[in-house]
Amino acid sequence: MRSLVTLKFVCPATKRELQYRLQADAQTLIKRWSKNLKCRCPYCKNLHSFSFRAGYVDGMIAHVGRTGEPSESLTHFIAS
């Protein structure tokens, strides 16, 4: 079964939050767990690389007890 997963990252230059959402099942998480995601930051315009694992954990912790959709802007990432 696939669920909506939100990963959370912080731009190292501006300290602003970036989020990435995807539909994922256990196999998707296993496959991406040790990979990095790359994105062109919408805030500082630099290319950043983030750990999928760290983004997943930070995203889960940030949403504990929250309801509704996150209001922050979403960023498009490329798996590497």
For residue 78, the model assigns a pLDDT of 54
- Mean local confidence (pLDDT), 57-78: 66
For residue 64, the model assigns a pLDDT of 75
Q: Which residues contact 44 (CB under 8 A, 6 or more apart)?
A: 11, 13, 14
Domain boundaries, the chain: 3-79
Output the six-digit token pair for 38.
Answer: 């790359």
Q: Is 32 left (phi over 0), alpha (psi -120 to 50) or beta?
A: alpha
Question: Does the global pTM surpass 0.75?
Answer: no
For residue 77, the model assigns a pLDDT of 59
CA distance 38 to 69: 23
The distance in angstroms from the start CA to the end CA of the chain is 24
